[in-house]
Chain A
């Protein structure tokens, strides 16, 4: 909603019609002879070699899966192997023109792409660069293994073996694999060669790759990004969201200077005609030719075209032309690469969905065989030479296969010897002030920022010397705490960007970012389409490449819209990469109220359940600033919950006021907000203030002194403080706005019981919301925990309070009744 863009009714209401440009289909028609100007004989033979290598590699896996041996060597691989036999020309053609700086992202069926891109990078990197990469990767462990077995080989042949071995060992879950065996077949990657994560979730790369392209653009890094996704993934929401994000007008119309222009991105559809067994053209999709999709996305139609992926030269030709477009900042590009897999979806696939004739017909067109014929016909290579290439590849494959299955040379992670080998990789717990040393790009000095100037006049402690509260307008609020941490990092880390819906101009739906629009150019703070999936997915891609990013999804209720990104992608990649990849993503999530069933839910428990995420929910300005500072200094993905109930709350606990200077609050440390001796109340998020109210009533009416602890973080969580409190008081109530069933509070309660059982005078009692829809604002007090509920819970479950008349029913019988009814 930039004011600079005028939406003119006069212009918009005029009659006209949309005209689409023709979308080329299989237009490449050059012969080897015609291409001799562009390729040397060695180039042609290298293309042939690379295709043969991929074919042999996958044939080996297929034989292992179907016959239990390869060239007479038995092996059992129980894990997945999604093969792409038949698609080699598409993979090699895609990778041929790419440099090591160009990144590819893939799918579950990406062995061919990994090898093709790796081989391409090995060809392009200097011998020194190659040696350095291999020497430094995991301390040279893989390189040493290879070198020992091939003492005579030169660096490039060694690098090829390094690539094949690292990939194979990874598929076989060996610690000497590219990702310590933690990624496996569907996730292998090797970033030094520009091979970025492949994704077992169909379409998973569809938005992550866009984030990588965003990283290249925002940080002015060389190279392009290729998202290799299947034809069937074009039905996935996150892919469409990624496309919407990638084709935003603002790149061309609002971003300025060197940032102006389209993303350096090629969405490369490896169109093998099938999604598992569903036939995309004719059965499960309606696009006929997938390239058609480009026409619907932007005026450039994403420069979409279909190329014949059974001819490597056709694909290379397309990449030469498209790379040029990207260099001119005219991206993104959509390529529909026609191909076909002979192998099934997986080795268990009986191919019941296609005829033998169809497979045989494609085999007659086999890209390797026909390319070989053409080379012989054009006099580039003799038949025997090509046979020699094939034989050499076969021998090498057998050698490397033997190495990769040797338990001495290629051991798996020893979890009995090192039980925390995986545990230590789940979070990286790094502390990085900035991810690049260049000067952060800002519009003015921080002290010139209107919001910063305004905050200087605020009261950083809520009460005056007499203990009287300052007016809300005068108080430094929780939203100000988040803002200060954000602007601090924007001025420190040049890679830091933030985006989401209404983040610019509007200042965020809850005015947290007010003032940032003035301070930052578009390329650091911008509005996104209403695509929560892509908002998080792109952030994942951005962070993977080495940038810090704060995506925001407005309401917590929209978390479901970014479900795969939050549950499957964001938490996984640090560990699945063997911790080579860092994930400095701070995802801001705002918990609403007053807005009914789909705008008032606290879903902290959902994300706390997922390993690999840090989760916090500050409830005071001091904690909000300190925790945001920690989140923005860290290297882990953080789900940063905020509550709309308390954006305007002042600092009521830190008497010195919220410091203007930078400080961090470590994750996982709960905080005692009120000391007491008779009962502990542990709150999550905004319920802190209701817990304090209950503490007041307990003191006033019953002479009981309550200790109120604010959890602040959910993951990680240090139980010591709470357990010490419970040892003292013997009683604990836990409260949050999350509905009770499956609430993280139950996890806390169970662990507290286990840790302090002998000190408990009653079981810990959870006071959460009812297991209902959130009703209208006027009925919310019957749904969300109230101070009186805390009193009732204490009275009925912990310590009968003299004269207390309970309203809410916390008895065992009622628990059973509700559970029986499922409410």
Chain B
């Protein structure tokens, strides 16, 4: 938890509250970036009645992209907490109150928050607060959009979900006002595979799960096809609630595969030259320019020559970017994050290297600016798994970008040196996944070849 950095905010009300110990003051949920309207309270570190001092971690919260922690700005007793873990709260809302024991906090009870298009009405009565922080969320009159987080599902669809043991929480409803209706559930059922009544009964009663076998007529899953796969009932396990950020990644990845025509070309580049450059960098000391920095640098240069790859596919239009805004896949404890290096084509190799390192660190520490994590903030993404020895993979495109480059490990390959002489030459594997909706195979191949050439003949000055 200590790695989670506190992010400074410019909120005046928040700063003003610091050190005002003469009277109770609210704990505000800070705003994280201009586009953030609400955050999810991940965990409370304190409870009502606990004494806190300045700097005591109060709670953690997360946006679509990152997690943060809020500390106490004054000392006192936690008089009230108005929300529960897992709840979505509009920013700049009072999350709780710190003050002296017995002080009134009534005036800080959050009421209607009408800002930034949020129609969430949070209602808390005095009694409810003193007992437990119970509230009700309503869709304010006139609103047609469901409050984020609530799931509207018709009784019929819900029944179907029960019959087929389907978790409907991730399903996008196509009914009026986003309601999940029977049609949506049927689509899911069909995807999961049709089962015989006996198979369904066995799934319910014995906790069996479908495997790959579909031996019934029309690929129906029969009872005999089921596996003893329900870990919750047969194996020792723990049911972990999926964090918000994981759900967002899941949704984005799933949508990517659902909504584009992805395929991957693999090709390898002679790595002798970049290995040479790496050796030189090390010898020179100073900045630690990594192989990945060099590959990204080469990719940026290649993208300038292939603008169609440095683009967003938007259905009716394709947005072609002038500059290169390079997305960088970063593996973190909380999951995959892809910060963008804006206008990367204007940076020297050294600047690029420093920027990428800074962003990766910020991601891992949770202090990344959410604005930089938006998928449409980058024009092309590089995902490097070479460090882990991956020889070939098919990265998933970050929609609406049209392509993503997978960078593999370097392996020696036999190479015709002329005159019937073959020797082992280190080769860097490159995997380009592209959206065939936006790019044809020829252009994708030419881009990938050009990138390999760029790597093979890389020129650097540092």
Binding site for B on A (CB under 8 A): 730, 757-762, 796-800, 811-813, 816
Q: How far does the Cβ of A54 sit from chain B's closest Cβ, in whole Å?
A: 64
**A758 and B176 contacting across the interface, CB-CB below 8 Å:** no
Alpha-carbon distance between A797 and B158 when the two chains are bound, in angstroms: 18
From A812, which residue of chain B is reached at the shortest CB distance? Answer: B144
Contact of A757 among B142, B155, B175, B182 (CB under 8 A): B155
Residues from chain B with Cβ under 8 Å of A811 in the complex: 144
Check B142–A762 contact: CB distance below 8 A: no
Knowing that A758-B156, A813-B144 are A-B contacts, what are 17 other residue pairs whose CB atoms are under 8 Å apart, sorted by A's residue number?
A730-B154, A758-B155, A758-B159, A759-B155, A760-B154, A760-B155, A760-B156, A761-B157, A761-B181, A761-B182, A762-B154, A762-B175, A799-B183, A800-B175, A812-B144, A813-B141, A816-B141
Which residue of B141, B144, B158, B179 contacts A762 across the interface (Cβ within 8 Å)? B179
Instruction: Give 10 pairs: A residue, B residue, CB < 8 Å, sorted on A.
Output: A758-B156, A759-B156, A760-B154, A760-B155, A761-B154, A761-B156, A761-B157, A799-B183, A813-B141, A813-B142
Q: Is B233 an interface residue (CB 8 A)?
A: no
Q: Which residues of B contact A816 (CB under 8 A)?
A: 141-142
Residues of chain B contacted by A759 (CB below 8 angstroms)? 155-156, 159
Q: Chain A residues near B182 (CB, 8 Å)?
A: 730, 761
Let me know if B174 is at the binding interface, CB within 8 A: yes
Question: Would you give the shortest CB distance from B183 to chain A, in whole angstroms?
Answer: 7
Instruction: Name which residue of chain A comes closest to B184, CB basis.
Output: A761
Please give, as numbers and ranges, the residues of chain B lying within 8 Å of A799 by CB-CB distance.
175, 181, 183
Q: Mark B174-190, 1 if CB is under 8 A from A, else 0.
A: 11110101110000000
Q: Please give, as numbers and ranges, the residues of chain A lying within 8 Å of B141 by CB-CB distance.
A: 813, 816
**A757→B176 CA distance, assembly (Å):** 18
Which B residues lie within 8 Å of A796 (CB)? 176
| B153 nearest in chain A by CB position | A761
Q: When the two chains form their complex, are residues A762 and B176 in contact, meaning their CB atoms are under 8 A apart? A: yes
The interface residues of chain A lying within 8 Å CB-to-CB of B159 are 758-759
Q: Is the interface of A mostly helix, strand, loop or mixed?
A: helix
Using Cβ atoms and an 8 Å threshold, which residues of chain B touch A762? 154, 175-176, 179, 181
Bound CA–CA A811/B156 (angstroms): 21
CB-nearest residue of chain A to B181: A761
- Closest chain B residue to A759 by CB distance? B156
Q: Is the CB–CB distance between A798 and B155 below 8 Å? A: no
* A461, chain B: closest CB distance, angstroms: 37
Nearest 7 interchain pairs by C-beta = A761-B156, A730-B156, A761-B154, A761-B182, A758-B155, A761-B181, A760-B155
C-alpha spacing A757/B156, complex, angstroms: 8
A587 CB to nearest chain B CB (Å): 40
| Chain A nearest Cβ from B164, distance in angstroms | 15
A813 CA to B119 CA, complexed, in Å = 15
- Shortest distance between the CB of A796 and any CB in chain B (Å): 6
- Min CB–CB distance A298 → chain B (angstroms): 64
Contact bitstring B152-174, A, C-beta under 8 A = 1, else 0: 00111111000000000000001
CA distance A799 to B181 in the complex (A): 8
CB of B67 to closest CB in A, whole Å: 36
Q: Which residues in window 118-175 of B have CB below 8 A to A?
A: 141-142, 144, 154-159, 174-175
CB distance from B212 to the nearest CB of A (A): 32
Contact between chains at A800 and B154 (CB < 8 Å): no
Residue of chain A at shortest CB distance from B182:
A761
Alpha-carbon distance A398/B144, docked complex (angstroms): 72
Q: Could you tell me the distance in whole angstroms from the C-beta of B393 to the nearest C-beta in chain A?
A: 38
Report chain B residues within 8 Å CB of A761: 154-157, 175, 181-182
A758, A762, A813, A816 interface centre (most CB from chain B within 10 Å): A762
Identify the interface centre among A761, A797, A798, A800: most chain B CB within 10 Å of its CB: A761
B183 proximity list for chain A (CB < 8 A): 799
Residues of A within 8 A of B154 (CB): 730, 760-762
User: What is the bound-complex CA distance between A813 and B141, given in angstroms?
Assistant: 8
Find out whether the CB atom of B155 lies under 8 angstroms from the CB atom of A797: no
Q: In the assembly, what is the distance between CA of A758 and CA of B181, in Å?
A: 12
Q: Could you tell me the distance between the alpha carbons of A762 and B157 in the complex, rounded to whole angstroms?
A: 10
Given the complex, which residues of A lie within 8 Å of B142, measured CB to CB?
Answer: 813, 816
Tell me the bound Cα distance from A766 to B223 in angstroms: 43
User: Bound state CA distance, A730 and B186, in angstroms?
Assistant: 13
**A800 and B176 contact, CB distance less than 8 A:** yes
Chain A proximity of B179: nearest CB distance (Å): 7
Q: How far is the CA of A799 from the CA of B179 in the complex (A)?
A: 10
Q: Specify which chain A residues have a CB less than 8 angstroms from the CB of B157 in the assembled complex.
A: 761
- How far, in whole Å, are A816 and B182 apart by their CA atoms in the complex? 27
How many Å lie between the Cα of A625 and that of B146 in the bound state? 51
The chain B residue with its CB closest to the CB of A762 is B154
How many whole Å from B399's CB to the nearest CB in chain A? Answer: 23
B321 nearest CB across to chain A (Å)? 34
- Given A813-B142, A813-B144, check contact A798 B176 (CB 8 Å): yes
**A753 — nearest CB in chain B belongs to which residue?**
B155
A184 to B159, CA, bound (A): 52
The answer to whether A800 and B144 have CB atoms under 8 Å apart is no
With A and B bound together, what is the CA distance between A762 and B144 in angstroms? Answer: 16
Cα–Cα distance between A811 and B176 once the two chains are bound (Å): 9
Closest chain-A Cβ to B444's Cβ sits at a distance in Å of 33
Distance between Cα atoms of A761 and B161 in the complex (Å): 12
CA distance A730 to B156 in the complex (A): 7
For B154, the closest partner residue in chain A by CB is A761
Q: Which of B156, B158, B174 contacts A800 (CB 8 A)?
A: B174
User: CB-CB < 8 A to A730: which residues of B?
Assistant: 154, 156, 182
Q: What are the residues of chain A within 8 A of B174 when measuring CB–CB?
A: 800
The complex places the Cα of A811 from the Cα of B177 at a distance, in Å, of 10
Task: Closest A residue to B183 by CB, please name it.
Answer: A799
Chain B residues, CB < 8 A from A812: 144, 177
A762 to B179 alpha-carbon distance, docked (Å): 9
CB distance from A765 to the nearest CB of B (A): 10
Q: Which A residue sits closest to B157, measured CB to CB?
A: A761
**Whole-angstrom distance between the Cβ of B139 and the nearest chain A Cβ:** 10
For the complex formed, measure the closest distance between the CB of A33 and the CB atoms of chain B, giving whole angstroms.
Answer: 87
Contacts of B158 in A (CB 8 A): 758
Of all chain A residues, which has the CB nearest B179?
Answer: A762
Query: Nearest CB to that of B180 among chain A residues?
Result: A761
CA of A341 to CA of B155, assembled, Å:
66
